[in-house]
Amino acid sequence: MNTNEYIALEEQYGAHNYHPLDVVIEKGEGVWVTDVEGKRYLDCLAAYSALNQGHCHPKIMEAFLTQAKKVTLTSRAFRNDKLPLLYKMLHDITGYEMALPMNSGAEAVETAIKAARKWGYTVKHIPEDKAEIICATDNFHGRTTTIVGFSTEEQYRKDFGPFTPGFRIVTYGDIESLKAAITPNTAAFLVEPIQGEAGIIVPPEGYLREAARLCKENNVLLVCDEIQSGLGRSGKLFAFEYDNIRPDMVIIGKALGGGFYPVSAVLSNRDILGVFKPGEHGSTFGGNPLAAAVAIAALTVLVDEHLVERSFELGNYFMTRLRAIKDAHIREVRGRGLWIGFVLDVKARPYCVALMKEGILCKETHENVIRFAPPLVITKGEIDWVCERIEQVVHSIH
Ligand SMILES: *Cc1c(COP(=O)(O)O)cnc(C)c1O
Protein backbone atom coordinates (compact mmCIF):
# COMPACT_ATOMS: atom_id res chain seq x y z
CA MET A 1 0.00 0.00 0.00
CA ASN A 2 1.15 3.56 -0.59
CA THR A 3 0.74 6.75 1.45
CA ASN A 4 -2.62 7.70 -0.03
CA GLU A 5 -4.09 4.25 0.49
CA TYR A 6 -3.12 4.24 4.18
CA ILE A 7 -4.55 7.71 4.61
CA ALA A 8 -7.81 6.75 2.90
CA LEU A 9 -8.22 3.74 5.23
CA GLU A 10 -7.49 5.85 8.28
CA GLU A 11 -9.90 8.58 7.27
CA GLN A 12 -12.67 6.09 6.55
CA TYR A 13 -12.44 3.91 9.64
CA GLY A 14 -10.79 6.03 12.33
CA ALA A 15 -12.32 8.79 14.44
CA HIS A 16 -11.13 12.19 13.25
CA ASN A 17 -9.87 13.57 16.54
CA TYR A 18 -6.46 14.48 15.03
CA HIS A 19 -5.31 16.38 11.95
CA PRO A 20 -1.97 14.67 11.21
CA LEU A 21 0.50 15.68 8.55
CA ASP A 22 0.20 13.33 5.60
CA VAL A 23 3.27 11.22 6.24
CA VAL A 24 2.85 7.52 7.01
CA ILE A 25 5.75 6.37 9.17
CA GLU A 26 6.94 2.81 8.92
CA LYS A 27 10.26 2.82 10.78
CA GLY A 28 12.15 4.85 13.35
CA GLU A 29 15.72 4.89 14.61
CA GLY A 30 17.20 7.60 16.82
CA VAL A 31 16.10 10.98 15.48
CA TRP A 32 15.17 9.55 12.08
CA VAL A 33 11.96 8.02 10.76
CA THR A 34 11.23 6.49 7.37
CA ASP A 35 7.85 6.59 5.66
CA VAL A 36 6.17 3.89 3.57
CA GLU A 37 7.65 5.42 0.39
CA GLY A 38 11.17 5.03 1.80
CA LYS A 39 11.66 8.78 2.41
CA ARG A 40 13.62 9.76 5.55
CA TYR A 41 12.73 12.54 7.95
CA LEU A 42 14.31 14.01 11.04
CA ASP A 43 11.68 13.93 13.78
CA CYS A 44 11.54 17.36 15.43
CA LEU A 45 8.46 16.60 17.54
CA ALA A 46 9.60 13.40 19.27
CA ALA A 47 6.00 12.40 20.04
CA TYR A 48 5.46 15.49 22.18
CA SER A 49 8.64 14.61 24.15
CA ALA A 50 7.76 10.96 24.74
CA LEU A 51 10.79 10.09 22.59
CA ASN A 52 13.53 11.97 24.42
CA GLN A 53 15.75 8.87 24.11
CA GLY A 54 15.05 8.63 20.35
CA HIS A 55 13.10 6.06 18.35
CA CYS A 56 13.63 2.39 19.14
CA HIS A 57 16.61 2.94 21.41
CA PRO A 58 18.53 -0.39 21.38
CA LYS A 59 18.99 -0.54 25.17
CA ILE A 60 15.33 0.15 25.89
CA MET A 61 14.36 -2.30 23.17
CA GLU A 62 16.52 -4.96 24.79
CA ALA A 63 14.88 -4.39 28.18
CA PHE A 64 11.46 -4.43 26.53
CA LEU A 65 12.06 -7.71 24.65
CA THR A 66 13.77 -9.42 27.58
CA GLN A 67 10.91 -8.55 29.91
CA ALA A 68 8.25 -9.41 27.30
CA LYS A 69 9.62 -12.96 27.23
CA LYS A 70 9.43 -13.33 31.02
CA VAL A 71 6.24 -11.79 32.38
CA THR A 72 4.36 -8.69 31.24
CA LEU A 73 1.42 -8.22 33.54
CA THR A 74 0.73 -9.37 37.06
CA SER A 75 -1.76 -6.72 38.22
CA ARG A 76 -1.13 -5.15 41.58
CA ALA A 77 -3.05 -7.97 43.24
CA PHE A 78 0.40 -9.58 43.28
CA ARG A 79 3.88 -8.14 43.43
CA ASN A 80 6.44 -8.29 40.64
CA ASP A 81 10.22 -8.18 40.63
CA LYS A 82 10.62 -5.03 38.49
CA LEU A 83 8.39 -2.41 40.13
CA PRO A 84 10.44 -2.16 43.36
CA LEU A 85 13.56 -1.51 41.26
CA LEU A 86 11.77 1.30 39.42
CA TYR A 87 10.65 2.81 42.74
CA LYS A 88 14.20 2.74 44.04
CA MET A 89 15.56 4.27 40.86
CA LEU A 90 12.98 7.07 40.84
CA HIS A 91 13.90 7.80 44.43
CA ASP A 92 17.64 7.79 43.72
CA ILE A 93 17.30 10.07 40.69
CA THR A 94 14.70 12.54 42.00
CA GLY A 95 15.02 12.40 45.78
CA TYR A 96 11.28 11.92 46.34
CA GLU A 97 10.40 9.28 48.91
CA MET A 98 7.61 7.55 47.02
CA ALA A 99 6.08 7.04 43.61
CA LEU A 100 2.67 5.92 42.40
CA PRO A 101 2.75 4.37 38.91
CA MET A 102 0.07 4.85 36.27
CA ASN A 103 0.03 4.52 32.48
CA SER A 104 -0.96 7.69 30.63
CA GLY A 105 -0.12 11.22 31.69
CA ALA A 106 -3.76 12.13 32.20
CA GLU A 107 -4.15 9.24 34.64
CA ALA A 108 -1.18 10.47 36.64
CA VAL A 109 -2.69 13.98 36.73
CA GLU A 110 -5.97 12.47 37.97
CA THR A 111 -3.96 10.60 40.58
CA ALA A 112 -2.27 13.81 41.75
CA ILE A 113 -5.67 15.50 41.97
CA LYS A 114 -7.03 12.67 44.11
CA ALA A 115 -3.93 12.70 46.33
CA ALA A 116 -4.15 16.48 46.77
CA ARG A 117 -7.84 16.33 47.65
CA LYS A 118 -7.39 13.48 50.07
CA TRP A 119 -4.45 15.28 51.68
CA GLY A 120 -6.64 18.39 51.86
CA TYR A 121 -9.32 16.55 53.83
CA THR A 122 -7.26 14.24 55.97
CA VAL A 123 -4.21 16.39 56.73
CA LYS A 124 -5.25 20.01 56.16
CA HIS A 125 -8.79 19.35 57.45
CA ILE A 126 -10.65 21.14 54.67
CA PRO A 127 -14.42 20.66 55.19
CA GLU A 128 -15.91 17.72 53.26
CA ASP A 129 -16.31 18.32 49.51
CA LYS A 130 -14.95 21.86 49.73
CA ALA A 131 -11.38 21.27 48.53
CA GLU A 132 -10.23 23.56 45.74
CA ILE A 133 -7.40 23.09 43.30
CA ILE A 134 -5.97 26.08 41.48
CA CYS A 135 -4.92 25.74 37.83
CA ALA A 136 -3.49 28.22 35.33
CA THR A 137 -4.84 29.77 32.16
CA ASP A 138 -3.78 27.98 28.97
CA ASN A 139 -2.93 24.85 30.95
CA PHE A 140 -2.69 21.44 29.34
CA HIS A 141 -2.94 18.45 31.66
CA GLY A 142 -4.63 15.85 29.46
CA ARG A 143 -8.01 14.94 28.04
CA THR A 144 -10.17 13.27 30.68
CA THR A 145 -13.47 14.95 31.50
CA THR A 146 -12.22 16.24 34.85
CA ILE A 147 -9.05 17.63 33.31
CA VAL A 148 -10.67 19.34 30.31
CA GLY A 149 -13.14 20.80 32.80
CA PHE A 150 -10.42 23.15 34.05
CA SER A 151 -8.92 23.85 30.64
CA THR A 152 -9.33 27.41 29.35
CA GLU A 153 -9.21 26.22 25.73
CA GLU A 154 -12.71 26.35 24.28
CA GLN A 155 -12.00 23.54 21.81
CA TYR A 156 -10.95 21.13 24.57
CA ARG A 157 -14.15 21.74 26.59
CA LYS A 158 -17.00 22.54 24.24
CA ASP A 159 -19.81 19.98 24.39
CA PHE A 160 -17.98 17.77 26.91
CA GLY A 161 -19.63 19.13 30.05
CA PRO A 162 -20.91 19.01 32.73
CA PHE A 163 -17.56 19.18 34.48
CA THR A 164 -16.09 18.29 37.88
CA PRO A 165 -16.35 21.22 40.31
CA GLY A 166 -13.59 22.31 42.68
CA PHE A 167 -11.14 24.00 40.30
CA ARG A 168 -10.20 27.67 40.05
CA ILE A 169 -8.26 29.37 37.28
CA VAL A 170 -5.51 31.95 37.75
CA THR A 171 -3.49 33.80 35.13
CA TYR A 172 -0.32 31.85 34.27
CA GLY A 173 2.78 33.79 35.24
CA ASP A 174 0.89 36.28 37.42
CA ILE A 175 1.73 35.78 41.08
CA GLU A 176 -0.90 38.31 42.27
CA SER A 177 -3.61 36.31 40.54
CA LEU A 178 -2.49 33.19 42.44
CA LYS A 179 -2.33 35.06 45.73
CA ALA A 180 -5.90 36.30 45.28
CA ALA A 181 -7.24 32.82 44.50
CA ILE A 182 -5.90 31.00 47.57
CA THR A 183 -8.52 30.37 50.26
CA PRO A 184 -8.47 28.23 53.43
CA ASN A 185 -10.00 25.48 51.25
CA THR A 186 -7.19 25.45 48.69
CA ALA A 187 -5.55 22.03 48.61
CA ALA A 188 -3.15 22.49 45.70
CA PHE A 189 -1.82 24.60 42.88
CA LEU A 190 -1.39 22.45 39.76
CA VAL A 191 0.94 24.02 37.21
CA GLU A 192 3.26 23.32 34.29
CA PRO A 193 6.70 24.90 34.96
CA ILE A 194 6.78 25.67 31.23
CA GLN A 195 3.58 25.38 29.21
CA GLY A 196 4.23 23.08 26.26
CA GLU A 197 0.92 22.78 24.48
CA ALA A 198 0.24 26.49 24.97
CA GLY A 199 3.27 27.15 22.74
CA ILE A 200 6.38 26.70 24.93
CA ILE A 201 5.46 29.51 27.32
CA VAL A 202 8.25 30.20 29.82
CA PRO A 203 6.80 32.13 32.79
CA PRO A 204 8.44 35.32 34.07
CA GLU A 205 11.67 34.88 36.04
CA GLY A 206 10.97 33.91 39.64
CA TYR A 207 7.30 33.01 39.11
CA LEU A 208 7.58 29.43 40.31
CA ARG A 209 9.82 30.42 43.18
CA GLU A 210 7.20 32.92 44.38
CA ALA A 211 4.41 30.42 43.78
CA ALA A 212 6.28 27.85 45.88
CA ARG A 213 6.70 30.41 48.67
CA LEU A 214 3.00 31.35 48.57
CA CYS A 215 1.98 27.69 48.63
CA LYS A 216 4.20 26.98 51.62
CA GLU A 217 2.92 30.04 53.47
CA ASN A 218 -0.70 28.93 52.98
CA ASN A 219 -0.25 25.18 53.45
CA VAL A 220 -1.11 24.54 49.80
CA LEU A 221 0.54 21.74 47.83
CA LEU A 222 2.56 22.78 44.81
CA VAL A 223 2.00 20.16 42.11
CA CYS A 224 4.18 20.43 39.00
CA ASP A 225 3.08 18.69 35.83
CA GLU A 226 6.45 17.70 34.31
CA ILE A 227 4.96 15.17 31.89
CA GLN A 228 6.31 17.10 28.90
CA SER A 229 8.85 19.45 30.49
CA GLY A 230 10.50 16.77 32.62
CA LEU A 231 13.16 14.11 32.08
CA GLY A 232 15.57 16.38 30.30
CA ARG A 233 13.40 18.17 27.78
CA SER A 234 13.98 21.63 29.28
CA GLY A 235 17.73 21.18 29.73
CA LYS A 236 17.31 20.15 33.37
CA LEU A 237 16.00 16.87 34.73
CA PHE A 238 12.94 18.91 35.78
CA ALA A 239 12.05 22.38 34.56
CA PHE A 240 11.27 23.50 38.13
CA GLU A 241 15.01 23.31 38.87
CA TYR A 242 15.44 26.62 37.04
CA ASP A 243 13.63 28.20 40.02
CA ASN A 244 15.52 26.22 42.63
CA ILE A 245 12.34 24.87 44.16
CA ARG A 246 11.07 21.49 45.26
CA PRO A 247 7.38 20.92 44.48
CA ASP A 248 5.32 18.78 46.85
CA MET A 249 4.26 16.54 43.99
CA VAL A 250 5.71 15.99 40.54
CA ILE A 251 3.86 14.28 37.70
CA ILE A 252 5.91 12.48 35.04
CA GLY A 253 4.99 10.45 31.97
CA LYS A 254 5.85 10.57 28.27
CA ALA A 255 9.66 9.97 28.14
CA LEU A 256 9.42 7.74 31.21
CA GLY A 257 8.24 5.08 28.75
CA GLY A 258 11.22 5.66 26.42
CA GLY A 259 8.87 5.71 23.44
CA PHE A 260 8.00 2.06 23.92
CA TYR A 261 5.20 1.92 26.35
CA PRO A 262 2.90 4.27 28.28
CA VAL A 263 4.34 4.76 31.77
CA SER A 264 3.52 7.63 34.12
CA ALA A 265 3.95 8.29 37.80
CA VAL A 266 3.30 10.71 40.62
CA LEU A 267 6.34 11.45 42.78
CA SER A 268 6.04 12.82 46.28
CA ASN A 269 6.95 12.24 49.89
CA ARG A 270 5.37 9.93 52.42
CA ASP A 271 3.35 12.65 54.15
CA ILE A 272 1.40 13.17 50.91
CA LEU A 273 1.37 9.93 48.89
CA GLY A 274 0.93 8.09 52.17
CA VAL A 275 -2.71 9.28 52.23
CA PHE A 276 -3.69 6.44 49.89
CA LYS A 277 -4.75 3.25 51.66
CA PRO A 278 -5.25 -0.11 49.91
CA GLY A 279 -8.30 -0.06 47.67
CA GLU A 280 -8.61 3.71 47.40
CA HIS A 281 -6.88 4.09 44.05
CA GLY A 282 -5.46 1.82 41.38
CA SER A 283 -4.96 0.77 37.79
CA THR A 284 -4.95 -2.69 36.19
CA PHE A 285 -1.89 -1.95 34.07
CA GLY A 286 -0.20 0.66 36.30
CA GLY A 287 3.15 -0.60 37.61
CA ASN A 288 3.21 -3.73 35.50
CA PRO A 289 6.61 -5.43 35.08
CA LEU A 290 6.92 -4.62 31.37
CA ALA A 291 6.26 -0.93 32.08
CA ALA A 292 8.70 -0.97 35.01
CA ALA A 293 11.45 -2.67 32.99
CA VAL A 294 11.01 -0.17 30.16
CA ALA A 295 10.99 2.82 32.53
CA ILE A 296 14.15 1.61 34.28
CA ALA A 297 15.88 1.32 30.88
CA ALA A 298 14.51 4.70 29.76
CA LEU A 299 15.87 6.40 32.89
CA THR A 300 19.18 4.55 32.60
CA VAL A 301 19.64 5.81 29.04
CA LEU A 302 18.77 9.33 30.15
CA VAL A 303 21.52 9.24 32.78
CA ASP A 304 24.17 7.19 30.94
CA GLU A 305 23.95 9.24 27.74
CA HIS A 306 23.87 12.56 29.62
CA LEU A 307 20.72 13.53 27.77
CA VAL A 308 19.82 16.27 30.26
CA GLU A 309 23.16 18.00 29.72
CA ARG A 310 22.93 17.46 25.96
CA SER A 311 19.49 19.06 25.95
CA PHE A 312 20.82 22.11 27.77
CA GLU A 313 23.85 22.62 25.54
CA LEU A 314 22.38 21.65 22.19
CA GLY A 315 19.17 23.54 23.01
CA ASN A 316 21.15 26.74 23.44
CA TYR A 317 22.97 26.06 20.19
CA PHE A 318 19.73 25.33 18.31
CA MET A 319 18.07 28.46 19.67
CA THR A 320 21.06 30.64 18.80
CA ARG A 321 21.01 29.32 15.24
CA LEU A 322 17.27 29.88 14.90
CA ARG A 323 17.56 33.42 16.26
CA ALA A 324 20.14 34.15 13.58
CA ILE A 325 17.53 33.53 10.88
CA LYS A 326 16.19 36.91 9.83
CA ASP A 327 12.72 37.09 8.35
CA ALA A 328 9.84 39.52 8.70
CA HIS A 329 7.43 36.76 9.75
CA ILE A 330 9.46 35.48 12.71
CA ARG A 331 8.17 37.09 15.86
CA GLU A 332 10.14 35.22 18.51
CA VAL A 333 12.25 32.15 19.24
CA ARG A 334 11.74 31.01 22.82
CA GLY A 335 12.17 27.95 25.00
CA ARG A 336 14.53 26.05 27.23
CA GLY A 337 16.75 23.14 26.32
CA LEU A 338 15.73 21.26 23.19
CA TRP A 339 12.20 22.60 23.55
CA ILE A 340 11.79 25.54 21.27
CA GLY A 341 8.82 27.61 20.20
CA PHE A 342 9.36 29.26 16.81
CA VAL A 343 6.73 31.98 16.80
CA LEU A 344 5.48 33.43 13.52
CA ASP A 345 3.02 36.20 12.77
CA VAL A 346 1.28 33.96 10.20
CA LYS A 347 -0.19 30.45 10.25
CA ALA A 348 2.46 27.82 11.04
CA ARG A 349 0.86 24.86 9.27
CA PRO A 350 2.11 25.74 5.75
CA TYR A 351 5.63 25.94 7.20
CA CYS A 352 5.25 22.47 8.72
CA VAL A 353 4.06 21.09 5.38
CA ALA A 354 7.00 22.75 3.58
CA LEU A 355 9.46 21.45 6.20
CA MET A 356 8.04 17.96 5.78
CA LYS A 357 8.88 18.13 2.05
CA GLU A 358 12.44 19.05 3.10
CA GLY A 359 12.63 16.02 5.41
CA ILE A 360 11.80 17.59 8.77
CA LEU A 361 8.80 16.56 10.83
CA CYS A 362 7.34 19.14 13.18
CA LYS A 363 3.94 20.30 14.23
CA GLU A 364 2.27 23.61 14.78
CA THR A 365 0.81 24.37 18.15
CA HIS A 366 -1.72 27.17 18.48
CA GLU A 367 -1.93 28.32 14.86
CA ASN A 368 1.27 30.36 14.70
CA VAL A 369 3.90 28.50 16.75
CA ILE A 370 6.13 25.69 15.48
CA ARG A 371 7.50 23.47 18.23
CA PHE A 372 11.01 22.14 17.65
CA ALA A 373 11.58 19.35 20.17
CA PRO A 374 13.75 16.63 18.62
CA PRO A 375 14.90 13.54 20.54
CA LEU A 376 17.67 14.56 22.94
CA VAL A 377 20.09 12.21 21.16
CA ILE A 378 20.24 14.63 18.20
CA THR A 379 23.77 15.70 17.21
CA LYS A 380 25.11 19.18 16.54
CA GLY A 381 25.55 18.24 12.89
CA GLU A 382 21.92 17.22 12.65
CA ILE A 383 20.86 20.52 14.20
CA ASP A 384 22.90 22.31 11.53
CA TRP A 385 21.17 20.20 8.89
CA VAL A 386 17.74 21.11 10.32
CA CYS A 387 18.55 24.81 10.63
CA GLU A 388 19.71 25.09 7.02
CA ARG A 389 16.39 23.68 5.88
CA ILE A 390 14.35 25.84 8.24
CA GLU A 391 16.11 28.91 6.89
CA GLN A 392 15.43 27.86 3.29
CA VAL A 393 11.75 27.24 3.99
CA VAL A 394 11.29 30.48 5.92
CA HIS A 395 12.78 32.49 3.04
CA SER A 396 11.02 30.64 0.23
CA ILE A 397 7.50 30.30 1.55
CA HIS A 398 6.12 33.71 0.52
C1 LIG B 1 0.96 15.10 27.25
C2 LIG B 1 0.66 15.81 28.51
C3 LIG B 1 -0.30 15.32 29.42
C4 LIG B 1 -1.17 14.13 29.11
O5 LIG B 1 -0.46 12.97 28.90
P6 LIG B 1 -1.19 11.75 28.13
O7 LIG B 1 -0.20 10.64 28.23
O8 LIG B 1 -1.44 12.20 26.72
O9 LIG B 1 -2.45 11.48 28.87
C10 LIG B 1 -0.46 16.01 30.60
N11 LIG B 1 0.25 17.10 30.90
C12 LIG B 1 1.17 17.60 30.06
C13 LIG B 1 1.94 18.82 30.44
C14 LIG B 1 1.39 17.00 28.83
O15 LIG B 1 2.27 17.51 27.96
Residue 106 CA to ligand 1 centre (angstroms): 6
Cα-to-centroid distance, 105 and ligand 1 (Å): 5
pLDDT of residue 366: 87
Is residue 70 annotated as part of the catalytic site, yes or no? no
**pLDDT at position 209, please?**
98
Q: What is the pLDDT, as a whole number, of residue 242?
A: 98
Active site residue 160: no
Residue 101 in contact with residue 265, Cβ under 8 Å?
Answer: yes
Does the C-beta of 124 come closer than 6 Å to ligand 1?
Answer: no
Name the residue of 49, 147, 254 whose CB sits within 8 Å of the most ligand 1 atoms, as the mutation to test its pocket.
Answer: 254
Beta carbon of 133 within 6 Å of any ligand 1 atom: no
pTM, two decimals, is 0.98
Q: What integer pLDDT is reported at residue 63 of this predicted model?
A: 98
Query: Is any atom of ligand 1 closer than 6 Å to the C-beta of 192?
Result: yes
Cα–ligand 1 centroid distance for 128 (angstroms):
29
Confidence at residue 52, expressed as pLDDT on a 0 to 100 scale: 98
Ligand 1 centroid – CA 228 distance (Å): 7
Selected catalytic residue, list 35, 43, 138, 225 = 225
Is 81 known to be catalytic?
no
The CB of 233 under 6 Å from ligand 1? The reply is: no
Q: Is 311 in contact with 233 (CB distance < 8 Å)?
A: yes
Q: Determine if ligand 1 sits within 6 Å of the CB of residue 135.
A: no
Distance from the alpha carbon of residue 127 to the mean position of ligand 1, in angstroms:
31
Is 225's C-beta closer than 6 angstroms to any atom of ligand 1? Answer: yes
CA of 329 to the centre of ligand 1 (A): 30
Candidates 2, 81, 70, 83; CA nearest to 36 is: 2
Catalytic residue among 118, 124, 138, 140: 140
Nearest CA to ligand 1 atom 11: 141
User: Is the C-beta atom of 30 inside 6 A of ligand 1?
Assistant: no
Q: Which atom of ligand 1 is nearest to the CA of 229?
A: 13
How many Å apart are CA 296 and CA 104, to the nearest integer? 17
- Whether the ω angle into residue 162 lies within 30 degrees of 0, i.e. cis, is yes
What are the residue ranges in the chain where pLDDT is below 70? Answer: none
* Ligand 1 touching residue 268 (CB < 6 A): no
Q: What is the pLDDT of residue 398?
A: 74
Quote the CA–CA distance of 217 and 225 in Å, as a whole number: 21
105 lines ligand 1 (CB under 6 A): yes
Task: Give the whole-angstrom CA distance, residue 256 versus residue 87.
Answer: 13
**Domains of the chain, start order:** 3-56+306-396 (3.90.1150.10), 58-304 (3.40.640.10)
Ligand 1 and 257: CB distance under 6 A: no
> Which is catalytic among the residues 118, 236, 254, 363?
254
pLDDT in tens, 108-150: 999 999 999 999 999 999 999 999 999 999 999 999 999 999 9
CA of 142 to the centre of ligand 1 (A): 5
